[in-house]
Amino acid sequence: MDPGEQAADLRLENHEIAAHRWSKEWLFQDGDDLFEHDFGVHEGYGPGAFRVHRQGVGGPDALSCAECHHRGGPNGSGDLSENAFFEGDGSDPASAFERNPPHILGLGIEERLAAEMSAALANARAGAITAARSSHSPVQIALRAKGVSFGSLTVRPDGSQDDAQLEGVDSDLVVKPFGWKGSAATLREFLTDGFQVHFGIQFSRPEAVGDGRPWDRDGDGSPNEITDGMMSAIVLYVARLEIPVISPPKDSDLLARFGHGLEVFQDTGCATCHVTSLPLRNPTLKITTGLTSNVLTEGEAPRPRFDVSNSDGTPIFLFSDLKRHAMGAALADARPTYITTIAYGLPNGPKERTKIPADVFLTRPLWDLADTAPYLHDGRAPTIDAAIELHGGEADASRAHFDALSSEDKAALRIFLLSLSRYPRIEFR
C-alpha cells in the first residue's frame, strides 16, 4: 500500500505520446482516472487548503475534478455548495469572483469552433492590413465569423489597429470559449490553470506560480507535480467525453409545446446571443505532437449522430455565439477581471494585460441546461425562469419580451430548454 503507487501509474510524458506508446483509449482511461482521483499531498497537492482563493495562487479547494463536476452524471456541473471563489483574499467570499462549476461536456467541440472563428477574424484582419498597405490609408472592416458579428476594426498601413468598435472579443481577435467570462482559448490552458488553482498542482515550468526553485515553484517539496503528458491525457479525455443531446418529450401534447418553445426561444430574442447552432468545418483537435482527436466522431457514447457530409460544416447545437456581452449592473462582479493576451494575437507578440469589464460575460452555451441548475455564473438563480429574469444589459429587450409572454408561452419555453440534456447512463457504484 504505497500511497504513491496509483500516482506513479498515472504519470506519462509527451515524448511517449509522440512515439505512439499509448493508445487513445489508454490515454482516455488515464484522463478518467485523473478526473476521479483524490490528489494527495505526496502528489503535490497544496500547500494548505483555502475555500476562498488567494490572488494569483488559488485554493486548493477540492480533492478531485469529480468533486465539483457531478450533477446530472459524471463530468456534470457543480452544486451551489461547490461554487469556487477565485482571486480573493483567502478568507472573505465577498473579496472573490464566485463561480458555479459548469459541466465539461462537448468542450473539444467548443475549442474547435472558437479556433475556426479566431482564424476567420485573423484572416479578415490580415486582408485588411494588405489593403491598408497597398492603399496607404486606414481600412475599416466588419468582423464576422460563423454568422456572428464582432463589430468592426480599423487597421492602419503600419499594421497597428483601432479596436474601439470591436464587440465581444479582445483586441487579439482570439475567441475564448472557456470560463464564465471567456478567459481561455484552449482546453490545455484552461485545465492547466484549473490544476493550479483547485489543487495547487503545477508544471515544473517557469510560468508556474511561486518563487521556489524551477522544479518546485510552489515550494511544497513536491517536484514535477504534473507532466505535459498527463495534461495531454486530460485534454484528450475532456475532448472525447459524451456530447449533450436534445431529447424532446414523447407525449404528443408536450412535444407540440416543445416545438412552440423553440419558436418562442427565437421570437423572444434569446437566440440572438444563444445562437441555435454554429457550423463546425474541421473537427480535428490537435492535442500534442502525434496526438489528435476528431471531436465529432471519436469519443465515448452516447453522442448525437452528426451530419459530417455538409461542406458548409456540421451544425453544432451549442446555443451560444461564443461572444462576450454586457449583462447589466445586477449581474456584474464587484470588479473587472484581467487576463493575459498576446498583442495582435501574433505568435511571438508581447504579452498584454486585458480587461474584461465587471458586467461582461460569455454567452453561456445552453446544451445540457436541464442538468445544470442552479443557473448563472454564481448559481444565484434556482430556476430557469429566475435565470431569464436576471438577464440585463444587452439582453434587456429580450428579457422584457419574456416578461410579456403568456404563461402558456413561458411553459413552452421551459419545456424546450429542459430538452437540452444528456442521455441517462448506467453506472455500477
CA distance 390 to 376: 9
Binding to other proteins, residues 20-49 (CB under 8 A): 25-26, 28-29, 32, 36, 38-41, 45-46, 49
Among 127, 221, 302, 336, interactor with other proteins by CB under 8 A: 302
25's enclosing H/E stretch is helix 24-36
Q: How far is the CB of 239 from other proteins (least distance, A)?
A: 16
Query: Site map for other proteins, 253-292, x if CB under 8 A?
Result: -x--xx----------------------------------
Binding to other proteins, residues 362-401 (CB under 8 A): 370-371, 373-374, 378-380, 382-383, 385
Q: How far is the CB of 275 from other proteins (least distance, A)?
A: 23
Whether residue 76 contacts residue 91, with contact meaning beta carbons closer than 8 Å, is answered with no
88's enclosing H/E stretch is strand 84-88
Return all residues near 214 (Cβ < 8 A) that are at least 6 apart.
204, 206
CA distance 315 to 305: 11
Residue with cell 488515464: 30
CA distance 20 to 291: 8
Please identify, among the stretches 121-129, 136-144, 211-219, 294-302, the one whose residues bind other proteins according to the rule CB under 8 A. Answer: 294-302
Cβ proximity to other proteins, 79 vs 352, nearer residue: 79
Among 242, 298, 321, 394, interactor with other proteins by CB under 8 A: 242
User: Could you tell me how many residues of this chain bind other proteins (CB under 8 A)?
Assistant: 77
Binding to other proteins, residues 402-421 (CB under 8 A): 407, 411, 414-415, 418-419, 421
CA distance 327 to 393: 4
Cβ proximity to other proteins, 153 vs 373, nearer residue: 373
Residue 162's SS3 state is strand
Q: How far is the CB of 180 from other proteins (least distance, A)?
A: 15
Return all residues near 406 (Cβ < 8 A) that are at least 6 apart.
none
Cβ proximity to other proteins, 350 vs 428, nearer residue: 428
Please identify, among the stretches 1-9, 208-216, 280-288, 396-404, the one whose residues bind other proteins according to the rule CB under 8 A. Answer: 1-9
Q: How far is the CB of 195 from other proteins (least distance, A)?
A: 15
Binding to other proteins, residues 147-186 (CB under 8 A): none
CA distance 406 to 148: 30
Q: How far is the CB of 7 from other proteins (least distance, A)?
A: 11
Strand 52-54 relative to strand 84-88, pairing: parallel
Q: Provide long-range contacts, Cβ within 8 A and 24+ apart, for 191-197.
A: 191/231, 191/234, 191/235, 191/238, 192/231, 194/65, 195/226, 195/231, 196/58, 197/53, 197/57, 197/58, 197/59, 197/60, 197/84, 197/86
Please identify, among the stretches 138-146, 241-249, 308-316, 332-340, the one whose residues bind other proteins according to the rule CB under 8 A. Answer: 241-249
For 365-401, letters b (16+ CB in 10 Å) and e give bbbbbbbbbbbbbbbbbeebeebbebbbbbbeebbee
Q: How far is the CB of 82 from other proteins (least distance, A)?
A: 5
Cis peptide bond upstream of 60, omega within 30 = yes
Q: How far is the CB of 21 from other proteins (least distance, A)?
A: 15
Distances (CA, A) of 174 to 254, 343, 344, 353, 394: 41, 11, 9, 14, 21
Cβ proximity to other proteins, 44 vs 313, nearer residue: 44
Q: How far is the CB of 318 from other proteins (least distance, A)?
A: 21
Binding to other proteins, residues 205-224 (CB under 8 A): none
Cβ proximity to other proteins, 27 vs 132, nearer residue: 27
Binding to other proteins, residues 68-127 (CB under 8 A): 68, 70-74, 76, 78-85, 93-94, 98
Q: How far is the CB of 29 from other proteins (least distance, A)?
A: 4
Which amino acid appears at position 315 of this protein? P
Q: What are phi and psi of 403, to 5 degrees?
A: -55, -35
Cβ proximity to other proteins, 316 vs 412, nearer residue: 412
* Binding flag, residue 142, other proteins (CB under 8 A): no
Q: How far is the CB of 26 from other proteins (least distance, A)?
A: 6
Q: How far is the CB of 402 from other proteins (least distance, A)?
A: 15
